[in-house]
């Protein structure tokens, strides 16, 4: 019974089906339980959260990653699967502590002050949730002080700052300065991303890492999570 549900969760993550309304890739899946319904069923059946994560979610994302490598899957497929994992993690969040499962980390993401562009930040958020991180999205055009306040309140391990414009990327540096002034800089690792920024720029403003795209951003954060000080 538990194996069947976990197998169904795995299959539906691979299909990128968050709810029963989603179509997935194979024909005729719409209407069948998606990851949301299956996780609820698994929790009601008292299936171990760690089994769901290890045998269902992590295993399925490995398959998805392989399909992406083989060019069988494209980014929308990856995002759909990551979104399904993110939805599953959100449902299981209240059970993680009592199950002894430690989340991989908490990340605040924001598009900096003056910048309304958030597609990149949203994609990174989905991928991070899919990778097992807790993501708090502060939105776009976020005041520097609001980021400082959120760091103090949420106590994240990471901050992801995004900007699309050359005129707004300077606010990334202002944010880092503000965190320093408030004595918060050493508590978090700061990753930046967006079209106008680069590894060199990240180093010049004192960020800890630079994500060239969504997948790279996740890899950089994974690397920093592992205790490496140098971003990949």
Partner 1 sequence: MPREGILISNPLERLSGEQVRQIHDASIEILNDPGLLCFNKKAAGIFQSRGAEVAGVSGSDTPCWHVKIPEKLVTDALASAPKTVTLGARNPDNALVMKGDEPRVFFITGSETNMWLDVDFPTYVNKSDPEKESKVPEFQPRRGMVADLCDSAHVCEHLESVDGYIRTVNIQDKDITEDNKDVNKFFACLNNTTKHVMSGLTSLNQLDNVVKMAEIITGGPDKLKENPIISFITCLVKSPLQFVGDTTETFMEVCQRGLPIVVSSSPQAGTSAPIKEAGIMAQINAEVLAGITLGQLVNRGTPVLYGSVPVRARMDTLGDSYGSIETSQYNIDCVQMARFYKLPNYSTSGVSDVKIPGQQSSIERLFSDIVVTLSGPQFLHCAFGLLDCNSVFCLLQAVLDDAHFQMIKFFLKSPRINEEEFDTVKKQIREVVNTPQKMFINYIRPVMRSGEISPPYPFEGDGEGDSVLALANERLQELRAKPVEHIDPDTAARIFREIPGLLPRLNVHEGDG
Q: Which residues bind partner 1 (CB under 8 A)?
A: 16, 22-23, 25, 74, 76-77, 79-80, 83, 118-119, 122-123, 125-126, 137
Torsion (CA) 131, 137, 142, 143 in degrees, nearest 10: -100
Task: Report yes or no: 31 and 20 within 8 Å, Cβ to Cβ.
Answer: yes
CB of 208 to partner 1, least distance (A): 25
- C-alpha 99: how far from chain center: 21
Instruction: Name which of 134 and 188 has its Cβ closer to partner 1.
Output: 134
Instruction: Name which of 3 and 72 has its Cβ closer to partner 1.
Output: 72
Q: What's the CA angle centered on 105, arms 102 and 110, to 5 degrees? A: 155
CB of 101 to partner 1, least distance (A): 25
Q: In whole angstroms, give the CA distance from residue 193 to residue 162.
A: 5
Instruction: Name which of 23 and 41 has its Cβ closer to partner 1.
Output: 23
Write the burial class of residue 85 (CB in 10 Å: 0-12 exposed, 13-18 middle, 19+ buried).
Answer: buried
The most distant pair of C-alpha atoms in the chain lies apart, rounded to whole Å, by 56
Q: Where are the beta strands (DSSP E) in the chain?
A: 106-111, 134-137, 158-162, 189-193, 209-211
Task: Report yes or no: 218 and 187 within 8 Å, Cβ to Cβ.
Answer: no
Task: Report yes or no: 92 and 49 within 8 Å, Cβ to Cβ.
Answer: yes
Instruction: Name which of 104 and 136 has its Cβ closer to partner 1.
Output: 136
């Amino acid at each position: 019974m538990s194996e069947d549900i976990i197998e169904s969760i795995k299959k539906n993550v691979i299909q990128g089906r968050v709810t029963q309304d989603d179509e997935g890739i194979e024909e005729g899946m719409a209407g069948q339980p998606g990851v949301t319904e299956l996780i609820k069923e698994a929790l009601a059946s008292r299936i171990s959260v760690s089994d769901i994560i290890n045998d269902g979610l992590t295993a399925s994302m490995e398959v998805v990653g392989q399909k992406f490598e083989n060019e069988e899957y494209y980014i929308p497929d990856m995002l759909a699967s990551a979104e399904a994992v993110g939805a599953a993690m959100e449902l299981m969040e209240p059970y993680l502590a009592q199950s002894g499962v430690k989340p991989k980390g908490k990340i605040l993401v924001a598009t900096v002050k003056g910048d309304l562009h958030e597609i990149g930040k949203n994609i990174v958020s989905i991928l991070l949730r899919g990778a097992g991180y807790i993501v708090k999205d502060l939105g776009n055009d976020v005041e520097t002080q609001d980021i400082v306040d959120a760091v103090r309140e949420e106590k994240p391990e990471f901050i992801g700052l995004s900007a699309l414009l050359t005129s707004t990327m300077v606010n990334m540096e202002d944010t880092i300065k503000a965190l320093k002034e408030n004595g918060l800089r050493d508590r978090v690792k700061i990753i930046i991303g967006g079209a106008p920024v680069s590894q060199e720029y990240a180093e010049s403003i004192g960020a800890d890492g630079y994500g060239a795209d969504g997948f790279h951003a996740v890899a950089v954060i994974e690397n920093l999570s592992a205790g490496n000080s140098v971003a990949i």
